[in-house]
Amino acid sequence: MKLYKAGNSICTQKVFITLDEKGLDYDTHNINLFNNEQFDPEYLKLNPKGVVPTLVDDGRVIVESTLICEYLDDICPEPSLVPDDAYGKARMRVWSKYVDEGIFEATREISFSAMFREKMKSMPEEKRRQRFKSAGDATRGARFKSTFEEGTESPYVFQAVANFEKLFKNLEQALDESGGPWILGEAYSLADINLMPYVARMEYLTLLDVWIAGRPLSEAWWARAKERPSFRECVPGRLTGDDISSMAEYGAKIRDRVAERRREYLDGLQ
């Protein structure tokens, strides 16, 4: 199996954790997103959206991190990371969908406004223009442009802050209903794995407590999740010292504004 990945890519981290939990062997191929290697015509043949990760298993190409994780559970059922029953599977997939439809973009927008934006400021204009390329996804280029130009003032960042607020409200309720220790109850599953890299990113950016403070079940879930050997191996274990210090340094600069935007969102609900 070969996994196409990028350094510090949240979507790839889900796949790394799943591979590690399963004890599967694989090779990796790095795609440098800042050199626009995701738009290389050869890579676009594998992944037409021009994103990572992509898994190639015996010549078969699988895209979309959530689907890759489910594929890995299908080809290697032990230890199981997917509930046996139909209702359990549906509950797990609601969490995956939730992450894919709101939390992934929220994490990307917040990360861009804090960090990648600063990196892109020093890029030559032509390279930056290439980076805004959308590979056919009209909103992707617009989002990049908005977070690059407006930073935390971008409406996409406001929406991102609100999405994290809704996430932790739902997580607290789900853990209460399931009785924990994991999102679906007793069994650790892809519902947990699919969420962990996004929560980790907020912690690395020093922003997590904006949403998690005062939510004891979510705090306990997170403390438990980040102690799993697969997480330690695949997230902190694969980040460079520079990745970790950049996230802390740039995240701290937007922290106060993120907390204010959360307040604006909560005030707007009243």
Ligand X SMILES: N[C@@H](CCC(=O)N[C@@H](CS)C(=O)NCC(=O)O)C(=O)O
Question: What does the alpha-carbon distance between residue 114 and residue 68 come to, in Å, rounded to a whole number?
Answer: 29
* Contact predicate 63/8, CB 8 Å: no
Closest distance to ligand X from the beta carbon of 51 (Å): 3
Q: Does 111 bind ligand X (CB under 6 A)?
A: no
- CB 50 → ligand X: shortest distance, Å? 6
Question: Does residue 193 interact with ligand X by CB under 6 A?
Answer: no
Structure tokens at 80: 């199981």
Select from 20, 64, 109, 165 the one that contacts ligand X (CB under 6 A).
64
Q: How far apart are CA 132 and CA 79, in angstroms?
A: 40
9 part of the interface to ligand X, by CB under 6 A: yes
| Inter-residue contact 43 to 37 (CB < 8 Å) | yes
For residue 3, give both structure tokens: 């996994």
Q: How far is CA 19 from the centre of its chain?
A: 16
Residue with nearest beta carbon to ligand X: 51
Residues 6+ away with beta carbon under 8 Å from 249 = none
Q: Pattern 16-35, binding to ligand X, x per CB under 6 A?
A: -----------------x--
**10 binds ligand X per the rule CB under 6 A:** yes
Based on the shown chain and the rule CB under 6 A, indicate whether residue 146 belongs to the binding site for ligand X: no
197 to 236, contacts with ligand X by CB under 6 A?
none
Indicate which single residue of 38, 111, 218, 230 sits in contact with ligand X (rule: CB under 6 A).
38
The structure tokens listed for 254 are: 């937007």
Q: Of 18, 65, 146, 206, which one interacts with ligand X (CB under 6 A)? A: 65
Cα gap 171→41, rounded to integer Å:
40
Whole-number minimum distance, CB 248 to ligand X, in Å?
A: 19
55 near ligand X, rule: CB under 6 A: no
- Taking CB under 6 A as the binding criterion, the range among 64-72, 165-173, 184-192, 252-260 that sits at the site for ligand X is 64-72
Contact between 92 and ligand X by CB under 6 A: the answer reads no
With b meaning 16 or more CB within 10 Å and e meaning fewer, what string describes 159-181?
A: ebbbbbbebbeebbebbeebebb
Instruction: List C-alpha distances in Å: 194 to 90, 97, 122, 250.
Output: 14, 10, 33, 25
Neighbours of 250 (CB within 10 A): 19
Q: Which residue number, 53 or 251, has a Cβ lying nearer to ligand X?
A: 53
Q: Which of 51, 174, 183, 193 binds ligand X (CB under 6 A)?
A: 51
Distance CA 7, CA 11 (A): 11
Taking only Cα atoms into account, the Rg of the chain, rounded to an integer number of angstroms, comes to 18
Q: Per CB under 6 A, which region of 63-71, 74-82, 199-207, 235-243 contacts ligand X? A: 63-71
Give the binding site for ligand X (CB under 6 A).
6, 9-11, 33, 38, 51-53, 64-66, 100
